[in-house]
Chains A and B, each alone.
Chain A
Amino acid sequence: MRNILLIIILFASSITYAEEIFKINYTNESNVQIPAIRKFKTNNQLQLLYIKDDLPQFTIIAHIGYGKLFENKNNAGVSDILVKTLKFGGSLLYPGDKLEKKLDELGGKISISSGWEGLTISIQVLQEHAEQVSEILAKLIEEPNFDDSSFKLAKSLQIEKIKRSKDDPFLLAYENGREIMFQSQGYGIRETTKTINSIQKQDIQDIWKKYVCSKNMIIGVSSSVPFKKVKNILNKKFKFLKQGAHYSYKVEVDLEKYKNNANKVFFVSKNIPQATIVMGSPAPSITHEDRYVLTVMNEILGGGGFNSKLMQEIRVKRGLAYTTGSLIRFRKNTGIFLMYAQVSTEKVTQTYKIMNKLVKDMSNKKVADKEFNHSISALTNSFIFQFDTTLNVLSKYLSFWYYGLPDQVLKEFPQKIKNVNKNQIIQKTKKLVNNGLVTVIVGNAELKKKLSKVYEVVEIKE
């Protein structure tokens, strides 16, 4: 008995050896001040968010509630075509390249992009040009110039982009993976040359007419220009907006179809010496009660960089890969969970087994105290970085508006993370992966032969 105790003491002391020698105080930061956001609604119900910045600049961001998740199998890619046409077409006031020429004169820059849930137009200039640029943005929204040549150019460039995405093995695996997981809708929407070619100019005009309205839009400003002035400018410039409605999208996954696909290995041939493995499943939405638990789970499994299980087991301990990890994204009405690794062809089977085992263990066994505590403190102690720049803070509040989340969700984050326990991680991981994970592997012909001996392999022709 005494010997056993001695062994336990020696073992325990050896585990803490490094930390005892090198003392570091790990107490959490408690005084975190979140910069103030000011809110205002114009007379026509357009929501404005404002944050004061010490830099003599004016950044204005318009976020419109229409994105890729609103698309369907037939018009996949229409939001990309819309933003590209807008970029090239400009507005009736500043058509074509005159828009950028004007901004060049002001020393400003513009970015127009489409995301999963929204279209974003952002313009940045020095503070003295605030009113001018607000006018430019307002006119771009009120009277976009969707001319034929910009529309044609947008389509041809998008088709080229689709072609080039097949050069990247990770993109190839990821895009096929989400298409299969979500059965070609929602996150599974995949644009093709055919869908792009089928898009008509009227389609983007209709989208603009329907979705660009004050109840479906929000404006964010980060600037040294005082709030009162910004309010007045925007009230004036955006009064043209009709109120409209707030729109959302639906995602429905056929569970039987999903389960059927989850037991197979989907394979894309590419003659390269390194293979890419992507595994994943749909995940809950951002308002779902499970999101904090799954955030911690993801941190432990693969989101926590070098400290995560995937990195440790695949790269650090075995040298099998340079890049591996996991991610989880929660959106308004959907979410996605992914794990990935890029390894030499001969190490794929070994790596795939490790990935499967790790996620299975997360849904069956309690994680070790060290891993658990480490992930909680990593997430809570780095919380301060969620608002380290005014633009970061502004982006966060813009997304809260879209998701219908209350402002205090930011402040509540550390405590919600600390409230997560190990049993919950098991339960929620089990729930997440209960129907299996879809797997896509991109690799060469030799690898396909090898995998076919062990798994049901379905080849995808790209």
Chain B
Amino acid sequence: MIKVKKILLFFFITVFCSNISYAEISNVESYLKNNVVEKKLSNGINVTILNRGYSPTLALIISFKVGSADEGFESIGIAHMLEHMLFKGTDKIGTRNYEKEKKILREIEAVGETIDKIEIKNPDNILLKDLKKRLKKLQTEHKKYVVNTPYSQIYSKLGGINFNASTSRDRTSYYIELPSSRLEDWVNIETERLRNPVFRQYYLERQSVVQERLMRYESIGASNLVEKFIATAFIAHSYRHPIIGWQSNIKYLPLKEVKKFYYKNYIPSRMNITVVGKQNENHTLSILEKYFGKIKSKIEPVETIIKEPKQTGERRVEVKFKANPYLIIGWHKPTAPTKDDYVGDVVSYLLSWGRNSKLKKVLIEEKKMAVSVDTSNGFPGARYDNLFVVDAEPKTGYKTEDVEKEIYKIINSLKETITQKDINLVVNKIRSEMVFSLDSNMGVARKLNYYATTLNNWKYSIDYIKNIKKVTPEDIRQFIDKYLVKDNRTVGILVPEKK
């Protein structure tokens, strides 16, 4: 009897589940056009929503159109530091008693600032020892009022995964995936997070950012080179700043600058919220308006007026490191959504997408000079004019200069060999890739949010194929002749340090 019941139950579940109906997606552009809902809240926050999938889960992203490109010279690394500090809570979250905590926080900030000012001028100043002792004592006293990592705790209990954030040159994003039933909880928590963030445990967190820099840039040769390469390619524009800051300045980033940066830049008109997954769009919109709509709008800060001057001669930078050789080359070009940027995308695909791409075919298989080679169109950011980049790992026995020469040869030969058939193949692959990328909530959410924030237009994804299709072989020749030339390039080489 029990066995029969189990069989019936299994059958019921199987039938029920297999009869769940989904929208058939035959054309990605139409699918997105017809299903993505975009709205501006009353205070200017931009919202994009897509109801999709069978799983009652949501991918949720809040992005601010602010990154390291918006930093001043004295505050390099501040956008990233702020991202870290937004995990510390508010006057309501992350604290056991904010009234008592406030006073200690003010003292911590005062002592910390004093230590920084003295240490920058004179690291051997005799006052520092006592001041550091005082800071440590205050931090110990402060501990009893702190609830560590409050948001992680709350979201884990709600069943959230992939709770994280990231800072790029163009934007700062906060993301998570949650069961759909937790939408209102998320909105409630995130609006609270932005209402009155308290930057507690600042000096401890600053220390872990120092460690992050050591891990990412000081311990890995290729990353170290790329950082110097970007700072060489951009001599004026703030894209030259490392997102994390320089080793010498991170440890003295002032807390008051972090606060200033927050109040100036984390404003509704710079905010993009994306919600993708199983939901009722009207319900989502009304919840978002109910909570996020209360955030006061502010005056839009002025974006950087510094433009990168035209490069009029090759630049080269070398980094010696105990690691295998590595090469990176970049050329300046206009950003999206210009025609040249679409052409750049096609050039990038032709050169390095797949085994039969020009660079991979010749360098890895035919001449066996490289272990890997890749390209990127739109490095290191996309809000401003950027770089077309090629990077490669030379194989043992081959000089970096030889690999470099071969890369230029291959790029130039593309002008002779490119046909419309090659471009059609690329378009075909992109079209398939667009379908495949609809497979996950977070995959779709990232794309929509990226375009909405960086290019102010999520519809860039709908029009993409249409614009790529317009690229011709002649466009490619002109792109190579205009941009991928010696006087417009910067070359970075990692030279293995001998023992």
Point out residues on A near B: beta carbons under 8 Å: 14-15, 17-18, 21-22, 24-26, 28-29, 33-36, 52, 54-57, 87-88, 97, 100-101, 104-109, 124-126, 153, 156-157, 159-161, 163-164, 167-169, 224, 270-274, 304-307, 311-312, 315-323, 342-344, 374, 377-378, 380-385, 387-391
Whether B96 pairs with A381 at a CB distance below 8 angstroms is no
Asked, given contacts A274-B214, A317-B204, whether A18 binds B96 with beta carbons under 8 Å apart, the answer is yes
Could you say which residues of chain B place their CB within 8 Å of the CB of A17? Answer: 95-97
Smallest Cβ distance from B227 to chain A, in angstroms? 15
Determine the distance from Cα of A160 to Cα of B212 in the docked complex, in whole angstroms.
Answer: 28
Q: Is the CB of A273 within 8 A of B219?
A: yes
CB distance from A76 to the nearest CB of B (A): 20
CA distance A385 to B87 in the complex (A): 23
Q: Which residues of B contact A315 (CB under 8 A)?
A: 208
Chain B residues with CB below 8 A from A306, complex form: 87, 148-149, 152
- A342 in contact with B393 (CB, 8 Å): no
Q: With A163-B324, A374-B153 in contact, is A382–B371 under 8 Å at CB?
A: no
Which chain A residue lies CB-closest to B91? A21
CB proximity of A112 to chain B, nearest CB, Å: 11
Knowing A55-B438, A274-B211 touch, does A167 contact B220 (C-beta < 8 A)? Answer: yes
Find out whether the CB atom of B179 lies under 8 angstroms from the CB atom of A322: no
- Contact across chains for A270 and B192 when beta carbons are under 8 A apart: no
Q: Flag whether B181 is at the interface (Cβ < 8 A).
A: yes
A427 to B192 alpha-carbon distance, docked (Å): 42
Q: Is the CB of B16 within 8 A of A33?
A: yes
Q: Are A100 and B355 in contact (CB under 8 A)?
A: yes
| Chain B: CB-nearest residue to A97 | B356
Whether B150 contacts A161 by the Cβ 8 Å rule is no
B218 at the interface (CB under 8 A from A): yes
A272-B365 in contact (CB<8A): no
Give B204's nearest chain A residue, CB to CB.
A319
Sorted from nearest, which 8 A-B pairs have the closest CB atoms? A381-B159, A319-B207, A54-B22, A107-B432, A322-B212, A378-B156, A274-B214, A306-B152
> CA separation between A55 and B157, bound complex, in Å?
32
12 A-B pairs within 8 Å (CB atoms) are namely A17-B97, A18-B150, A22-B192, A29-B179, A106-B432, A107-B431, A167-B222, A321-B208, A374-B157, A384-B57, A388-B55, A390-B439
Q: Once bound together, how far apart are the Cα atoms of A88 and B212, in whole Å?
A: 38
Interface majority SS on A: helix, strand, loop or mixed? Answer: mixed
Interface residues of B in 152-209 (CB under 8 A from A): 152-154, 156-161, 163, 177, 179, 181, 185, 188-189, 192, 201, 203-209
Could you say which residues of chain B place their CB within 8 Å of the CB of A318?
A: 204
Contact A273 B214 (CB under 8 A): yes
Q: Is B286 an interface residue (CB 8 A)?
A: no
Contact B425 A105 (CB under 8 A): yes
Q: How far is the CB of B13 from chain A (nearest CB, A)?
A: 8
Shortest distance between the CB of B185 and any CB in chain A (Å): 6
* A299 shortest CB reach to chain B, Å: 9
Are B93 and A18 closer than 8 Å at their CB atoms? yes
Question: Which of B157, B215, B218 has a CB less than 8 Å from the CB of A381?
Answer: B157
Contact with A along B416-436 (1 / 0, CB 8 A): 000000000100110111011
Contact between B18 and A36 (Cβ–Cβ < 8 Å)?
yes
Most B Cβ at <10 Å: residue of A164, A311, A380: A164
A385:B57 contact, CB within 8 angstroms = yes
B219's nearest neighbour on chain A, judged by CB, is A272
In Å, the complex CA distance between A318 and B208 comes to 9
Asked if A377 and B157 make an inter-chain contact with CB atoms under 8 angstroms apart, the answer reads yes
Contact call B211/A342, Cβ cutoff below 8 A: yes
Complex: A22 Cα to B57 Cα, angstroms: 23
Find chain A residues with CB under 8 A from B364 CB: 157
For residue B131, CB closer than 8 A to chain A, the reply is no
- Can you name the residue of chain B whose Cβ is closest to the Cβ of A271? B322
B118 at the interface (CB under 8 A from A): no
Asked if residues A164 and B57 are in contact (CB atoms below 8 Å), the reply is no
| B17 touching A35, Cβ below 8 Å | yes
Is the pair A14, B96 in contact by a Cβ cutoff of 8 Å?
Answer: yes
- Whether the Cβ atoms of B147 and A18 lie closer than 8 Å is yes
Q: Does the CB pair A56–B425 fall under 8 Å?
A: no
Given contacts A56-B26, A100-B355, A167-B221, contact A22 B371 (CB under 8 A): no
CB-CB under 8 A from A87, the residues of chain B are 355
B39 to chain A, nearest CB (A): 25
Query: From residue A307, how far is it (CB to closest CB) to chain B in Å?
Result: 5
A169, A323, A384 pick with most chain B CB within 10 angstroms: A384
